[in-house]
Structure 1
Amino acid sequence: MMLNSFDEWSPLREVIVGSASNYTSHERELSFDLFFHDNIAGDNASRSEWYYPRLTATGSSSDSSGSGRVPIKQRYVDELNEDVEGLAATLAGLGVTVHRPMAVQPSTSEIRTLGWNASVVPPLNVRDNTLIAGNEIIETPPMIRSRYFETQFLTPVFHRYFEQGARWTVMPRPLMTDASFDLSYARESTVGGPTEPIGDPQPSPYDVGLEMMFDGAQVLRLGRDLVVNISSANHAMACDWLERHLDGRFRIHRVYRLSDSHIDSMVLALRPGTLLVRSEAVAEKLPEALRSWDRIVPPPPEEDAFPRYNDEDLVLTSPFIDLNVLSVDPDTVLVNEVCVGLARTLEKHRFTVVPVRHRHRRLFGGGFHCFTLDTVREGGPEDYLG
């Protein structure tokens, strides 16, 4: 089918589900710790190795030994793979055509660019580095170094849509030296770890100053309107690019510091006129036209809904990650099977809830919305905000 995806709720016809194949570790360095700053600082207080390997003048990581890599227990990876495959099977069972990215080969272990090197992350959270805007694929400038070439694993799928008539655009790629990052969010909120605050960027011969960096998951899609979360100068520069590129086709609405980056565990549109929001305080930060929509605020996350981890297990997301649901149509929502309170709340609002297993979402940084990229929905560029 032709690429067509304008919103978050229209009947879903085709979707990409991410892959966790050969996921082995997280790499602790500046871009990673900035991206996960809120949750690393808040949920891993017992960890002791709070350091930030810096770039060196020779263009390699100052921690070239790889000791900045935090291994992930194989049991967690195996269970993650089971759950991702279960998600793909559930969607296929609902009549949705499921596409998959290429898998990371074990021999593909490292990225090298002009200014740095990093380990490779599998294309699991495929929502992050691509924005589908109607009939256009927009590959967004990555925010984490280890994900720099992640969209290349989606190339076969994107190529098929291009052959069918889709637009295909790649936003400017950042050099991503230390000087590229706006550190103000981390410096102005909580301290970036118990032993060292985020700061002291190291110089590189490839410094160009602040650059655009941005994830598709920072965008709430509402027909011809895009609500964009801005928390740094990097985000703002990318949003400037989007406004110019999409001028005449979409309207951009900026919200500020709704979260450190992504919007889709703070607010999701489940159908026209209905939002799922983390709290009333979040809703009040939205554009005025959205504040009149009905708001569903679920009960707080149940403490026993999450596995218990050891101190050495790096927690990357807040307990609100399960708000990261996926709508199959205006009446049907995929929800983590352990979230009984969320499911009952949605059912009270006349949604059909499809329970799906997802155990280790806090370790791998994503829920069902993050793990998927909807490429074909029935909706069009309707005007929902007037």
Structure 2
Amino acid sequence: MQLNSYDEWSTLKEVIVGSAVNYTSHERELSFDLFFHDNLIRTEWYYPRLRASGPAGGSSSSPIKQRYVEELREDIEGIVSALESLSVTVHRPLDVHETTSQVTTPAWSAAVVPPLNVRDNTLILGDEIIETAPMIRSRYFETQFLTPVFNEYFRQGARWSVMPRPLMTDASFDLSYARTGTAGGPMEPVEDPQPSPYDVGFEMMFDGAQCLRLGRDVVVNISTENHAMACDWLERHLEGRFRIHRVHRLSDSHIDSMVLALGPGKLLVRSPEVVDQLPAPLQKWDAIVPPPPEGNNFPEYDDGDLILTSPFIDLNVLSVTPDTVLVNEACPELIRTLENHRFTVVPVRHRHRRLFGGGFHCFTLDTVREGGPEDYLE
């Protein structure tokens, strides 16, 4: 089918589901710590910040227990099976080959991670694939693993654009959010960026998961100058086709565990305070606020296991139709809330979402939905 995805809720026909093959570790370096800033500080300095060492800055590897990876892979296959049982065509990215261990640019080198959270580095708007400017060095070429799928949509008529790629030296990052934000707990100082011969100042960096798609309207979360520059590019690129609405510092980056649109006039939100920060037309929509998640909804981990998301990660649901939603089976409070609002809930297992930084919405990239460029905010 031809690429067509304008919103988050209309009937889903085709989707890409990510891969966790050969996931071995998280590489702690400046871009990683900034990306997960809100959650790496939630345990009051439990995960110490890196200390710069040399021109490329500091880095360290945080190994992931392979039993977690194997269980994650089992759960991903469960997501695929659930979608296929709902008559959704599922595409998969290329797996990372075991011999592919590093990505290297003129400015830095980083370990490669698999294309798991495929929502992040691509934004689908209507009939266009937009590869966004990466925010984490280890994911710099992640969209390459989606090339076979993108090629096929291009052959069928899709537009295909690539946002300018940043040089991504330490000086490329706007550190103001990390230095002044208050989400999550006490602020640990962020070290000064290390100089590089490739420094050009702030550059655009941006993820598709910072966007809430509503037909012709796109709500975009902006927390840094990097995001703002990328949003400027989007506005110019999409002029006359889509309207961009900026919200500021709703989170450090992604918006889809803060607010998701489940249908015209229906929002799933973390708290009423989130609604207050949305564009005025969205504040008139019905806001579904589930109870806070219970601690026993999550596995217990060892002290050395790196937690990358807040307990609200399970708000990261995936709509299959305007009244059917994939929800983590470990979240009875959320399931009851959605059922009370007359949604059909499809419970699916997803155990280690806090270790791998994503829920169902993050792990998927919807490429074909039945909806079109409607005006939902008029």
Q: Check whether the contact 1:3–1:166 (CA below 8 A) recurs between aligned residues.
A: yes
Residues 309, 44 of structure 1: alpha-carbon distance in 2 compared, 3 angstrom cutoff: farther
Q: Check whether the contact 1:91–1:98 (CA below 8 A) recurs between aligned residues.
A: yes
Alignment partner for residue 294 of structure 2, among 260, 285, 302?
302
| Residue correspondence of structure 1 range 1-386 to structure 2 within 5 A | 1-43=1-43, 45-47=45-47, 50-53=49-52, 56=55, 61-62=56-57, 68-190=60-182, 197-386=189-378
In 2, Cα distance between the equivalents of 1:99 and 1:191?
A: 36
Q: Check whether the contact 2:57–2:170 (CA below 8 A) recurs between aligned residues.
A: no
Q: Check whether the contact 1:322–1:367 (CA below 8 A) recurs between aligned residues.
A: yes
Residues 29, 192 of structure 1: alpha-carbon distance in 2 compared, 3 angstrom cutoff: farther
Q: Secondary structure at the match of 1:179?
A: helix
What one-letter code is carried by the residue in structure 2 that aligns with 1:328? V
Q: Secondary structure at the match of 2:7?
A: coil
Residues 54, 90 of structure 1: alpha-carbon distance in 2 compared, 3 angstrom cutoff: farther
Identity %, equivalent residues: 75
Query: 1:104-151 deviations in whole A, cap 9, x for unaligned?
Result: 001100010010000001000000000000000000000000000000
CA shift at 1:62, angstroms?
Answer: 4.8
CA shift at 1:55, angstroms?
Answer: 6.0
Q: Secondary structure at the match of 1:86?
A: helix
In 2, Cα distance between the equivalents of 1:273 and 1:194?
A: 36
In 2, Cα distance between the equivalents of 1:192 and 1:74?
A: 29
Q: Check whether the contact 1:5–1:376 (CA below 8 A) recurs between aligned residues.
A: yes
Q: Check whether the contact 1:137–1:169 (CA below 8 A) recurs between aligned residues.
A: yes
CA shift at 1:199, angstroms?
Answer: 2.7
CA shift at 1:43, angstroms?
Answer: 3.3
CA shift at 1:190, angstroms?
Answer: 4.8
In 2, Cα distance between the equivalents of 1:243 and 1:173?
A: 17
Residues 174, 165 of structure 1: alpha-carbon distance in 2 compared, 3 angstrom cutoff: same
Q: Check whether the contact 1:129–1:215 (CA below 8 A) recurs between aligned residues.
A: yes
In 2, Cα distance between the equivalents of 1:55 and 1:148?
A: 22
Q: Check whether the contact 2:179–2:187 (CA below 8 A) recurs between aligned residues.
A: no
> How does the TM-score come out when normalised to structure 1?
0.95
What one-letter code is carried by the residue in structure 2 that aligns with 1:218? Q
Q: Secondary structure at the match of 2:96?
A: coil
What one-letter code is carried by the residue in structure 2 that aligns with 1:334? L
Residues 284, 192 of structure 1: alpha-carbon distance in 2 compared, 3 angstrom cutoff: closer
In 2, Cα distance between the equivalents of 1:317 and 1:192?
A: 11
CA shift at 1:45, angstroms?
Answer: 3.5
What one-letter code is carried by the residue in structure 1 that aligns with 2:238? L
After superposing the two structures, state which structure 1 stretch, 76-85 or 196-205, moved more: 196-205
Residues 161, 344 of structure 1: alpha-carbon distance in 2 compared, 3 angstrom cutoff: same
RMSD over equivalenced CA pairs, Å: 1.6
Residues 191, 226 of structure 1: alpha-carbon distance in 2 compared, 3 angstrom cutoff: closer
CA shift at 1:46, angstroms?
Answer: 3.2
What one-letter code is carried by the residue in structure 2 that aligns with 1:27? E
Q: Secondary structure at the match of 2:41?
A: helix
Residues 230, 271 of structure 1: alpha-carbon distance in 2 compared, 3 angstrom cutoff: same
Residues 42, 168 of structure 1: alpha-carbon distance in 2 compared, 3 angstrom cutoff: same
What one-letter code is carried by the residue in structure 2 that aligns with 1:183? L
What one-letter code is carried by the residue in structure 1 that aligns with 2:374? E
In 1, Cα distance between the equivalents of 2:50 and 2:186?
A: 10
Q: Secondary structure at the match of 1:68?
A: strand
In 2, Cα distance between the equivalents of 1:205 and 1:214?
A: 23
Residues 62, 178 of structure 1: alpha-carbon distance in 2 compared, 3 angstrom cutoff: closer
Q: Check whether the contact 2:39–2:184 (CA below 8 A) recurs between aligned residues.
A: no
Residues 52, 126 of structure 1: alpha-carbon distance in 2 compared, 3 angstrom cutoff: farther
Query: 1:172-200 deviations in whole A, cap 9, x for unaligned?
Result: 00000001000000000259999962131
Q: How many matched pairs?
A: 378
Q: Check whether the contact 1:179–1:207 (CA below 8 A) recurs between aligned residues.
A: yes
Q: Secondary structure at the match of 2:233?
A: helix
After superposing the two structures, state which structure 1 stretch, 37-46 or 223-232, moved more: 37-46
Q: Which blocks of at least 5 consecutive residues in structure 1 are unaligned?
A: none
Moved over 3 A (4+): 43-47, 52-55, 190-196
